[in-house]
């Protein structure tokens, strides 16, 4: 398998710190979060609710809500710093460089426009998408419209929507959840973005439909080589689709590595424990082990390592010093005192 | 005391009338259509299916929140339809349900203690308030919650705590049969594991019988003795849990099983065995209800509905070509 | 108390509460300190004097002290407005609850409500007042008829949506019967958002009352009421603008503070904000 490591870096998030305003006070929600994604790579960002994974995605897209603020760090997309951009620049960014696909497709589709109109609108707003090395780029309005329409149907076919010519005239409410999600994915793909962020895109779908969407993503990954930030709580999805994984806990990345290393030899106790909570079928019986306790509230985090009250391998240093992320192997980073000397 | 199984569902149907424009009666929604199964005392029966299959409807029928359009439901020998007055209260003491969405199942104004005490009063479980408080504390501790939390309101609790609370509330009245409707759907993966362990421990401790409803096959497999797969109001396959997962006979069961993403990067096998979308019960297809989604459908599937037949002892399936999907699963 | 903390949180709410308390105190104190005879104290020598040391708000065309009149009017206006809203609230929420709970009565009650709502409030009040006769009591009755429908609608909507909530279903399986469900669960959860509307409504009733007085359906020149004061003063608007300004500002401030209090009340009664 060709090493992804040597390809160019599309997204570089470095030491991102974000605060949230909860009940009037600002609390640390993201602590020195660092992730990198290279071209053509799928990075799985795994964590439970409250771990900060969605907040990270929103930060990258410049969509942080009013009660959140970035206090440190940098987010570079194709070398271009995202933080500090004006709203206008961010809009341009979201139009072409970063495409987002979220959990509930119904909320992201305009209910009064047909599916075809919504996708064609993207071409209308970004006419450069229509010139793709044609001998003669479409000039007149009618030619552009025709080309946009053609590409729209092509996009629907790419996401395996049956009978695209008919679906193009449908309104979102006439489509099922799975179909709607495919449309949103199509809308993301036609932009030819540098990065696609998919946040829990199958959580709201039935399991057989989820399988269809996951299989579609696997296929797209093979055929067009998407650069994808896949956010999910489901370790199974990560195992099936991701090249690399970053595990988040209470606002920090606790471990990041290639997917095989994480599943075969996880280093961070939380990553280990998380893998063990997934009930897996081994022959005749099912095994799993729960993690005692619960993720701490952002307003009252434990001192030192945030996981230490629940950690089975806790050391004395864990309750005083927060561990720094250290590389334990090539491209394998862990933030844990068990795998690195704590600094005083 | 009859020697009939504890819970008997016999040919139950539940149709909801749909009114079209100007009050015209159109075809009814057949949420449940000819459902039959039995649950012996002390066992866990798992019911699996996706949205629209009727699993929530059957749960509501079993706790007498709805009345069946046809068929019978018997609990410990007594038909639910015949229950009147104080007998209903007795029934409610013995059959409880833990609904999906614990947050929605709680009155947002009621502190936990009140929420626990109320059913003890309305179902005459205890003689006086003091006993009720004792029992409430007992139930809280049984599910692993601190009694300190008793004065909190629902929104002041975490998802995991709320889930435990509604379990405690159901158990406080002392039921023998508990229906669990998606007990882990609204909690995180790590909490899910805690809740499942808790439920398993409680079952053993309190000698309960469970009906577990879930779309999560791994959860169902872990907890259940017998599993039934539902599709559009009917059971399409029913067998012992281990048997169903290793030798599924109905293509839909295979589709459900293979749809679960396996947390093993070396086993990249996402197979989508079911085509198209999950149907709604408004327009059930002719012939086999699953045929529009089935990759193996033949002509007979579009014309005749296959009956649920016992193909090997204890293993029932409703398919014209049972076992046809067997080769796909590893 | 948490409620107080919530007020502090919002400066506008604080302003509203402080302002309204001031007006309320003035209204309560007024009839105790100011003799009722002020209204009949015609002193033509002092007529239409501008605001000054002797008469803080000036005098009207009968030489009566405007300050005293405005304060007495505060007492009257608030008393009437509060009574009207309270009565409308009771009638409206009871009927609304019935409409929401008893399916058979829903349609008829809603049609009746619709009839009331379809007539502009001022016109309806005028019609009722003219039929009943010109008095303070009849004015109040007219205003109650105008105000109850909105509470009825609101309550019915709340009750209907509350009935569908999952906890209602869950509580039924726990043996909670119909009566208990309504009294202990549905009503408490629906009542407060509806009641929280009341303070703002008092402001509205006040304005309606003033408007009615202004166009002549009020209680008459010997009963101090803000609206009639404005009406009486409008003929002198260029010579003695204070006659219109002071009562007008009184109406405005009272209504404003009540609206702010209403916003605060809505927040206070939401259990989710209690922590």
Q: What is the pLDDT of residue A248?
A: 95
Q: Write out the residue range of the structural domain in which residue B272 sits.
A: 249-330
Chain B residues with CB under 8 Å of A162 CB are: 276
Choice among B21-25, C50-54, C120-124, C131-135 with the minimum mean pLDDT:
B21-25
Q: CA nearest B265: which of A297, C105, C118, A218?
A: A218
CB-CB: which of B160, B193, B259 is closest to A277?
A: B193
- The complex's ipTM? 0.86
Query: What is the average pLDDT value for chain B, to the nearest integer?
Result: 89
A272-298: average pLDDT: 79
What's the pTM?
A: 0.84
Cα–Cα distance for residue pair C85/C151, rounded to 1 Å = 10
Count of structural domains within chain A: 2
CB contact under 8 A, B105 and C177: no
The tally of domains found in chain B comes to: 1
Please check whether residue A307 lies inside any domain of the structure.
no
Last residue of a domain, one of A279, A297, A329: A279
**B328 pLDDT exceeds 60?**
no
Is A136 found in the same domain as A122?
A: yes
pLDDT of residue C65: 84
Place A343 in a pLDDT band, splitting at 50, 70 and 90. very low
Is the confidence at residue C122, as pLDDT, over 50? yes
Is residue B330 very low, low, confident or very high in pLDDT (cuts 50, 70, 90)? Answer: very low
Type and span of the H or E element at C7: helix C2-9
A279 and B218: CB-CB below 8 Å? yes
Do A165 and A236 reside in the same domain of the chain? no
Give the pLDDT score at B186.
Answer: 78
Task: Classify each residue of A95-122 as buried b or exposed e, where b means 16 or more C-beta atoms within 10 Å of its C-beta.
Answer: ebbbbbbbbebeebbeeeebbbebbbeb
Helix (H) or strand (E) holding A42, with range, is: strand A42-46
Please indicate, yes or no, if residue B79 is contained in any of the structural domains: no
Residue A334, pLDDT > 70, answer: yes
The 10 Å Cβ neighbour count of residue C61 is 16
Higher pLDDT: C155 or C199? It is C155
Q: How many CB atoms lie within 10 A of CB B238?
A: 25
A66 and A188 housed in the same domain: no
pLDDT digits (tens, 9 = 90+) for B12-51: 999 988 776 666 667 788 889 889 999 999 999 999 999 8
Position C272 confidence tier, pLDDT thresholds 50, 70, 90: low
Complete domains list, chain C, with CATH = 2-273 (1.10.3720.10)
Q: In chain B, pLDDT over 90 holds for what percent of residues?
A: 58
In this structure, of A6-20, C38-52, C182-196, C245-259, the range with the lowest mean pLDDT score is C38-52
Tell me if A220 is assigned to some domain: yes
Cβ neighbours of A49 in B, within 8 Å: 159, 188
Interface touch B155/C271, C-beta < 8 Å = yes
A90 and A199 share a domain?
Answer: yes
Task: Look up the domain containing A146 and give its range.
Answer: 106-192
Min distance B88 CA to chain C CA atoms (Å): 9
For residue C167, give the nearest of B97, B105, B155 by CB distance.
B105
Count CA within 13 A, CB hemisphere, residue B160: 24
How many other CB atoms are there within 10 angstroms of residue C101's CB atom?
Answer: 18
Task: Name the domain boundary from A257, A279, A301.
Answer: A279
Mean pLDDT within C9-30: 83
DSSP symbols for B164-224: HHHHHHHHHT--SEEEEESTTTTS-HHHHHHHHHHHHHHHHHHT-EEEEEES-HHHHHHH-
Q: Rounded CA gap, B186 and B214, in Å?
A: 12
| B90 vs C: CB within 8 A | no
CATH number at residue A26: 3.40.50.300
Counting as contact any 3 or more CB pairs under 8 A, the partners of A are: B
| Residues B258, A211: C-beta atoms closer than 8 Å | yes
Q: Which of residues 188-217 of A touch B (CB under 8 A)?
A: 206-212, 214-215
């Amino acid at each position: 398998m060709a090493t992804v490591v040597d390809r160019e870096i599309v997204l570089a998030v470095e030491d991102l710190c974000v605060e949230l305003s909860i009940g009037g006070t600002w609390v640390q929600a993201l602590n020195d979060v660092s992730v990198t994604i290279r071209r053509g790579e799928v990075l799985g960002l795994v964590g439970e609710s409250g771990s900060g994974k969605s907040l990270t995605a929103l930060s990258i897209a410049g969509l942080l809500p009013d009660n959140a603020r970035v206090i440190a760090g940098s987010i570079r997309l194709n070398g271009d710093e995202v933080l500090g951009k004006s709203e206008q620049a961010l809009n341009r960014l979201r139009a072409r460089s970063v495409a987002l696909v979220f959990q509930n497709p119904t909320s992201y589709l305009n209910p009064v426009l047909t599916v075809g109109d919504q996708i064609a609108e993207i071409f209308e707003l970004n006419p450069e998408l229509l010139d793709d090395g044609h001998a003669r780029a479409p000039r007149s309005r009618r030619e552009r419209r025709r080309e946009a329409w053609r590409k729209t149907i092509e996009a629907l076919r790419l996401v395996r929507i049956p009978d695209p010519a008919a679906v193009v005239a449908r309104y979102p409410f006439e489509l099922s959840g799975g179909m709607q999600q495919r449309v949103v994915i199509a809308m993301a793909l036609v932009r030819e973005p540098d990065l696609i962020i998919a946040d829990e895109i199958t959580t709201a779908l039935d399991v057989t439909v989820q399988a269809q969407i996951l299989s579609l993503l696997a296929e797209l990954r093979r055929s067009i080589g998407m650069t994808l930030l896949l956010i999910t709580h489901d370790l199974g999805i990560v195992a099936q689709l991701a090249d690399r994984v970053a595990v988040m806990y209470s606002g920090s990345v606790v471990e990041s590595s290639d997917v095989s290393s994480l599943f075969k030899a996880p280093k961070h106790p939380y990553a280990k424990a998380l893998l063990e909570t997934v009930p897996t079928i081994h022959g005749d019986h099912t095994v799993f082990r729960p993690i005692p306790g619960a993720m701490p509230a952002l307003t009252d985090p434990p001192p030192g390592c945030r996981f230490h009250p629940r950690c089975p391998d806790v050391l004395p240093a864990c309750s005083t010093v927060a561990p720094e992320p250290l590389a334990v192997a090539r491209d394998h980073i862990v933030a844990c005192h068990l795998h690195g000397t704590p600094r005083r | 005391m009859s020697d009939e199984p504890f819970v008997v569902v016999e040919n139950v149907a539940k149709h909801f009338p749909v009114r079209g424009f100007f009050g015209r009666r159109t075809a009814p929604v057949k949420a449940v259509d000819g459902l039959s199964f039995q649950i012996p005392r002390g066992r866990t029966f798992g019911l699996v299916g996706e949205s629209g299959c009727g699993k929530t409807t059957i749960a509501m029928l079993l706790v007498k929140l709805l009345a069946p359009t046809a068929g019978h439901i018997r609990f410990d020998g007594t038909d639910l339809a015949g229950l009147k007055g104080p007998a209903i209260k007795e029934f409610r003491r013995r059959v409880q349900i833990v609904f999906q969405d614990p947050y929605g199942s709680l009155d947002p104004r009621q502190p936990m203690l009140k929420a626990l005490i109320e059913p003890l009063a309305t179902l005459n479980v205890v003689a006086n308030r003091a006993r009720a408080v004792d029992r409430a504390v007992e139930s809280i501790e049984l599910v692993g919650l601190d009694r300190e939390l008793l004065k909190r309101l629902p929104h002041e609790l975490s998802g995991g705590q709320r889930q435990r609370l509604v379990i405690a509330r159901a158990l406080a009245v002392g039921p023998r049969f508990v229906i669990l409707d998606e007990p882990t759907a609204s909690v995180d993966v790590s909490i899910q594991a805690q809740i499942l362990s808790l439920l398993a421990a409680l079952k053993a401790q309190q000698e309960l019988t469970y009906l577990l409803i879930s779309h999560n096959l791994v959860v169902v497999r872990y907890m259940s003795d017998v599993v039934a797969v539902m599709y559009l109001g009917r059971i399409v396959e029913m067998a012992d849990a281990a048997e169903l997962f290793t030798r599924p006979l109905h293509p839909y069961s295979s589709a459900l099983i293979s749809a679960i993403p396996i947390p093993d990067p070396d086993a990249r096998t996402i197979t989508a065995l079911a085509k198209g979308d999950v149907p709604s019960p408004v327009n059930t297809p002719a012939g086999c209800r699953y045929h529009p989604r089935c990759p193996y459908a033949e002509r007979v599937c579009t014309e005749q509905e296959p009956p649920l037949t016992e193909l090997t002892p204890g293993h029932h399936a409703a398919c014209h070509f049972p076992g046809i999907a067997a080769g796909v699963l590893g | 108390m948490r409620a107080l903390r919530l007020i502090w949180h919002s400066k506008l709410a604080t302003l509203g509460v402080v302002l309204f308390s001031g007006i309320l105190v003035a209204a309560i104190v007024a009839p105790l300190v100011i003799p009722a005879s002020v209204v009949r104290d015609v002193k033509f020598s002092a007529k239409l004097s501008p605001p000054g040391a002797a008469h803080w708000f000036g005098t009207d065309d009968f030489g009566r002290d405007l300050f005293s009149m405005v304060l007495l009017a505060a007492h009257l206006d608030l008393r009437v407005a509060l009574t009207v809203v309270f009565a409308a609230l009771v009638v409206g929420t009871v009927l609304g609850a019935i409409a929401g709970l008893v399916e058979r009565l829903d349609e008829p009650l809603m049609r009746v409500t619709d009839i009331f709502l379809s007539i502009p409030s001022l016109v309806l009040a005028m019609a009722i007042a003219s039929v009943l006769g010109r008095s303070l009591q009849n004015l109040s009755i007219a205003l109650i008829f105008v105000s109850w429908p909105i509470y009825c609608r609101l309550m019915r909507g709340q009750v209907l949506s509350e009935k569908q909530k999952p906890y209602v279903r869950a509580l039924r399986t726990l043996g909670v019967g119909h009566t208990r469900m309504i009294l202990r669960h549905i009503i408490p959860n629906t009542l407060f958002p509806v009641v929280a509307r009341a303070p703002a409504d008092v402001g509205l009733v006040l304005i309606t009352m003033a408007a009615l007085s202004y166009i002549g359906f009020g209680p008459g020149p010997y009963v101090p009421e803000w609206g009639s004061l404005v009406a009486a003063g409008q003929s002198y608007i260029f010579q003695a603008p204070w006659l219109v300004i002071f009562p007008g500002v009184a109406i405005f401030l009272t209504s404003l503070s009540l609206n702010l209090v209403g916003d605060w009340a809505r927040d206070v009664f939401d259990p989710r904000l209690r922590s």
